[in-house]
Structure 1
Amino acid sequence: MRGDGDGWSTSPGGIRHWGRFGAAGLLLRAPLPGGGSAVLLQHRAPWSHQGGTWAIPGGARDSHESAEHAAVREAWEEAGITADALHVRAERLTMTAPSGWTYTTVVADAAGPLATVANRESAELAWVPEDEVSDLPLHPSFATAWLELRAVPVRVRFSAEPVLPLPRTVEITDRGFFWVSATVDGPGDEVSLDAPADELAVTLAAVLAGVGPA
């Protein structure tokens, strides 16, 4: 059962969205050598819908797929990113249509900027520093979604080792996404990188008021 999602979903008024069962995309972050995070973006091929704009790898969901499965598959097909190279952190429903069509953004981390292989749907692929994403000519739907997907960098202070060796994206309910870029000695609770994302979110929520952006 591959490819049965290809096709248009039409809303009243004739507005169409690609994906008979909805669509999904992968927002993949990785740490930059000098600090901060980068996001993998796709420069859409000129012949494609909204060609020439930038967005994340993504596409139609098949009938048997979860949003996560579809987003990870699309990242492989459009950018050559393998599932074992990333860690899914969250999902966010970022668009709905009267037809019932939906677009889900799956948020994930990688240990570093990964090598990519573009297919014919991409003019190019690039790891773009997070604070430079808004400077690009973004796909209109992604531009709207980016306002709630962007992660706030935060330097969290913990009281004891281990220091987190890998930055990661954490979602805190009602507060959005945060990028944990460093940890240093100071007030706070010890947390392990192996802690579940929801446990880390609870810890961060408890200390963010006294931490502030990095």
Structure 2
Amino acid sequence: MSIMSSSENDPNSAAERNAQAAKSTRLPAGRPPRRSGDGWTYGSDGKKHWGLNGAAGLMLVDPERGVLMQHRALWSVEGGTWGFPGGARDMGESAVEAAVRESWEEAGVPDQDGSGIEILETHVLDLDTWSYTTVIAKTLRRFDAVINDPESIQLSWVPLDELEEYELHPGVAFALPTLLELLRPHL
């Protein structure tokens, strides 16, 4: 894999186009091709959820910098809130595989093959016909997150004690006490 860099002032750079698309309330043009898990479904709670095969996100913790958080694009589900990089699971894909793939697609971390992190725990919100798995992992080396697609307004490493100060995605806000409790023995 090669990584291209460009000037921050270049309006034609991929990062600039992604940043502009994320701040729009309209779906961006030239989106990536649909994947097998893309689509809406309903959970046993009667609500619509993204991911025909469920969804997964990566709560990636750097012991020195905190948790990698994604400021979600305005056009996305619960746009404008902060959450973990993640998304729909592909057919036949495990929750861990989906969380790592989605985080790499959205934030460039961890490495595409999942190296450089240690999986610590998983937490599943199971709604019978749909589930969301949060994969809790810690970095084994320093990663610099990069906005790789228009699903992010911003990526930031947030200290654990500052997470509640952010406008969190409702699902993250609901699960956060449990996620932090699962994480605590690993710190």
Q: Do both proteins adopt the same fold according to a TM-score greater than 0.5, normalized to the shorter chain?
A: yes
Q: State the partner residue of 1:190.
A: none
Note the C-alpha offset of 1:111.
3.1
Specify the code of the residue in structure 2 equivalent to 1:50: E
1:177 paired with 2:183, answer: yes
For 1:127 and 1:113, the matched residues in 2 are separated by: 11
For 2:72 and 2:79, the matched residues in 1 are separated by: 5
C-alpha offsets along residues 63-88 of structure 1, whole Å, 9 cap, x if unaligned?
A: 11000000000010000011112111
Aligned residue runs from structure 1 range 9-158, under 5 A: 9-11=41-43, 15-32=47-64, 38-81=66-109, 82=111, 83-93=114-124, 95-97=125-127, 100-118=129-147, 119-151=149-181
8 Å contact kept, 1:31–1:111? no
Specify the code of the residue in structure 1 equivalent to 2:155: L
C-alpha offsets along residues 35-93 of structure 1, whole Å, 9 cap, x if unaligned?
A: xx500000001111111100000100011100000000001000001111211111111
For 1:122 and 1:177, the matched residues in 2 are separated by: 25
User: Could you tell me the percent identity over the aligned residues?
Assistant: 45
Specify the code of the residue in structure 1 equivalent to 2:48: R
Note the C-alpha offset of 1:11.
4.0
CA gap 1:56/1:13 in 2 versus in 1, 3 angstroms:
closer
For 2:105 and 2:137, the matched residues in 1 are separated by: 17
Residue 133 of structure 2 aligns to a residue whose secondary structure is strand
For 2:57 and 2:87, the matched residues in 1 are separated by: 6
Q: How many residues align?
A: 150
Unaligned runs of 5+ in 2: 1-33
For 1:30 and 1:13, the matched residues in 2 are separated by: 34
Note the C-alpha offset of 1:128.
0.1
- Greater radius of gyration (CA): 1
1:3 paired with 2:35, answer: yes
CA gap 1:20/1:113 in 2 versus in 1, 3 angstroms:
same
Unaligned runs of 5+ in 1: 152-175, 182-214
For 2:168 and 2:67, the matched residues in 1 are separated by: 13
C-alpha offsets along residues 172-201 of structure 1, whole Å, 9 cap, x if unaligned?
A: xxxx332555xxxxxxxxxxxxxxxxxxxx
For 1:29 and 1:130, the matched residues in 2 are separated by: 9
For 2:85 and 2:43, the matched residues in 1 are separated by: 24
8 Å contact kept, 2:67–2:157? yes
Question: Normalised by the size of structure 1, how large is the TM-score?
Answer: 0.65
8 Å contact kept, 1:38–1:128? yes
Q: State the partner residue of 2:4.
A: none
8 Å contact kept, 2:40–2:49? yes
8 Å contact kept, 1:31–1:112? no
CA gap 1:149/1:14 in 2 versus in 1, 3 angstroms:
closer
